[in-house]
Chains A and B, each alone.
Chain A
Amino acid sequence: MQTLDWIVLIGTLVFIVAYGTWKTRGSKNVQDYIKGGNEAKWWTIGLSVMATQASAITFLSTPGQAFHDGMGFVQFYFGLPIAMIIICLVFIPLYYRLKVYTAYEFLENRFDLKTRSLTAILFLIQRGLAAGITIYAPAIILSAVLGWNLNILIIIIGILVIIYTVSGGTKAVSITQKQQMAVIFTGMFIAFFLIVSYLPENITFTNALEIASASGKMDILDFSFDFNNRYTFWSGLIGGTFLALSYFGTDQSQVQRYLSGKSVKEMQMGLIFNGLLKVPMQFFILLVGVMVFVFYQFNTSPINFNPAATETVMNSSYAKEYTQLQNEQDEIFTKKKDLMTAYANTKSDAIARQIASYNLGDRANREAAKELIVKANKEQTLSVETNDKDYVFIHFILNNLPRGLIGLLLAVILSAAMSSTASELNALASTTTMDLYKRSFVKDKDESHYLKISKWFTFGWGSLAILIASVAYLADNLIQLVNIIGSIFYGNVLGIFLLAFFFKYVKGNAVFVAALITQAIVIAGWWYDWMPYLWLNLFGCALVIGIAFVLQTINSPQNENA
């Protein structure tokens, strides 16, 4: 990091925070603070929705995913446009007509207060933990590669977000997200063109794609019905629709983005914008990763991109074996480098087979290196991450980009972290205020009281997120833990919303009891390991719908109060 990088990094972040805080100072009431005064235009909503979903990990991890496994991950987003249309047709008109502040408020209207409160609490548990990880995940990576103090970095990210989110609420989140997206796209486009320009003179962009293809990185679509393969066309289309529907339709961190719209039309256009751009955006980020892969076919790379992992092994009794693997890797690189140029010129099948054979050796070496890291971890009672996909892109940035641009790309990563965290804190505070505090505890205060309390809740959730991020290192695999917690609750919540929207027959008491039973069964299912945890989403959703139907059928209608 040179002085210019620091100037670009600090200048960008401070400007965004200061501008967002200044521009949105002085919210007059809760409606202003939580729904941004309902002034947002469609492009603001669209960018805000995209910025909320794209966290720092998106920009750190996705290129690394393409580097190792190719472009197939893009299939995961094929269902998203379909979900956007369903939300435009069903969810938005109803949310708008009922003038709700949160998605859960709708559930009281449709069912009853207890179902609303239960769903809001499930959201708070899940999203509260996730907010901590949104800060922690990029902080641990940046501290590992840059040597920065982890806790200081966590506190800086957290405080920057708290400043403008507490001050300006939803409007501040939306305004800063527009600037953050501008920084993110500028940085990613510059990075992409630089990577292509760094390729050898005789390698064109088309050649680069051919080289990537020879190593299987351009296998974008997989039409097989292989359930062991996580990313196929079918899982993306069906599972992707299901996941996007639950995330964009029922998660307040997303719902709040479009509830700030000026009209139903602006809200719908915002989601249409997201539906049109999300797939190409993910494709582009993956393409950056593929270009990084091609770059490293002509430049040496470490056998594991995580510097902390390398350091752990080199300080263990496995250092010699690890060095040996790195040497073998360098030999493979030298042999493969010439083949790559030859393949780009001839597209010979024989050369492609040779490349494939070297790729097998490359992959085997990297797996062997991971095994050594695991052994070194055990020897030193550490838990350093062996999977290095999060470190590939940042390694490229730090070792190859010119002065100033390193600062810009770090601003991209931190902007992405801040934009997602801001939406989460904003949604957590809104839900706490509107669904719990105002609805069930302190009902008859004036607007200024609820405005003040919303700000305090934002500050409280922000502080809790910093605290969770600071102790996250204590858990061996906290990110996975948060995903598990999400999977335990998400299916149940989506099921409740699907019942509300599409099954008029089912009433409040049946849904509430079904939700409690479902939650207990899903937790038991996770505890006794009935299925891979991602399937708990679908299981919980189907279960709550099924149980609610049974209960509704066996209960007499006059006992219902909905």
Chain B
Amino acid sequence: MQTQPPKERWKKSYTLVLIANAIYIVLFYFIMKSF
């Protein structure tokens, strides 16, 4: 039986997660600098 990962396409939701994570970090940076 095939055991290698099938070709899975990159989805927009993955990009959304990465952008959200980056936004959280930037937001935390500004919160830290503001207070």
Contacting pair B5 A74 (CB below 8 A): no
The reply on A176 being an interface residue by CB < 8 A is: no
Chain A residues within 8 Å of B6, by CB? 93-94, 97
Chain A residues within 8 Å of B5, by CB? 89-90, 93-94, 501
Contacting pair A221 B21 (CB below 8 A): no
Give which listed residue, B3, B18, B20, contacts A110 with CB less than 8 A. B3
**Contact segment of A56-64, A185-193, A212-220:** A212-220
Q: How far is the CA of A17 from the CA of B28 in the complex (A)?
A: 39
CB distance from B29 to the nearest CB of A (A): 6
Chain B residues within 8 Å of A74, by CB? 28
Interface string of B1-17 (1 = CB under 8 A from A): 11111101011011011
- Number of A-B residue pairs at CB separation under 8 A: 77
- Known contacts A90-B8, A218-B35, A221-B32; decide if A85 and B24 are in contact (CB<8 Å): no
Considering only residues 182-215 of chain A, those with a C-beta below 8 Å from chain B are 209-210, 212-213
Chain B residues within 8 Å of A212, by CB? 35
CB distance from A475 to the nearest CB of B (A): 38
Q: How far is the CA of A74 from the CA of B24 in the complex (A)?
A: 10
Q: Give the B interface residue count (CB, 8 A).
A: 23
Considering only residues 85-110 of chain A, those with a C-beta below 8 Å from chain B are 85, 88-90, 93-94, 97-98, 106, 109-110
Q: Residue on B with the closest CB to A269? A: B13
Interface size class of A (residues with CB under 8 A): 35 or more
The reply on A280 being an interface residue by CB < 8 A is: yes
Q: How far is the CA of A537 from the CA of B27 in the complex (A)?
A: 31
Q: Residue on A with the closest CB to B21? A: A81
- The interface residues of chain A, by DSSP majority, are classed as helix
Contacting pair B21 A504 (CB below 8 A): no
CB distance from B34 to the nearest CB of A (A): 8
Q: How far is the CA of A448 from the CA of B27 in the complex (A)?
A: 53
- Known contacts A78-B21, A275-B17; decide if A98 and B29 are in contact (CB<8 Å): no
Give which listed residue, B13, B21, B31, contacts A220 with CB less than 8 A. B31
Contacting pair A98 B1 (CB below 8 A): yes
Q: How far is the CA of A220 from the CA of B6 in the complex (A)?
A: 39
Give which listed residue, B3, B4, B10, B35, contacts A209 with CB less than 8 A. B35
The reply on A156 being an interface residue by CB < 8 A is: no
Q: How far is the CA of A23 from the CA of B6 in the complex (A)?
A: 37
Contacting pair A276 B28 (CB below 8 A): no
Chain B residues within 8 Å of A97, by CB? 2, 6
CB distance from B6 to the nearest CB of A (A): 5
Chain A residues within 8 Å of B8, by CB? 88-90, 93
CB distance from A504 to the nearest CB of B (A): 7
Chain A residues within 8 Å of B18, by CB? 81-82, 85
Q: B interface vs A, CB < 8 Å?
A: 1-6, 8, 10-11, 13-14, 16-18, 20-21, 24-25, 28-29, 31-32, 35
Query: Apart from A93-B5, A106-B3, what 20 extra A-B contacts exist at CB < 8 Å?
Result: A81-B18, A81-B20, A81-B21, A82-B18, A88-B11, A90-B5, A90-B8, A93-B6, A109-B1, A213-B35, A218-B31, A219-B32, A220-B31, A220-B32, A221-B25, A221-B29, A269-B13, A272-B14, A276-B20, A504-B4
Q: Which 9 A-B pairs have the closest CB atoms?
A: A213-B35, A220-B28, A275-B17, A81-B21, A110-B3, A218-B35, A209-B35, A220-B32, A85-B14
Q: List 17 A-B contacts (CB under 8 A).
A: A81-B20, A88-B8, A88-B14, A89-B14, A94-B3, A94-B6, A97-B2, A109-B3, A218-B31, A220-B28, A221-B32, A233-B25, A269-B13, A276-B17, A283-B28, A500-B3, A501-B5
Q: A interface vs B, CB < 8 Å?
A: 71, 74, 78, 81-82, 84-85, 88-90, 93-94, 97-98, 106, 109-110, 209-210, 212-213, 218-221, 233, 268-269, 272, 275-276, 279-280, 283, 500-501, 504
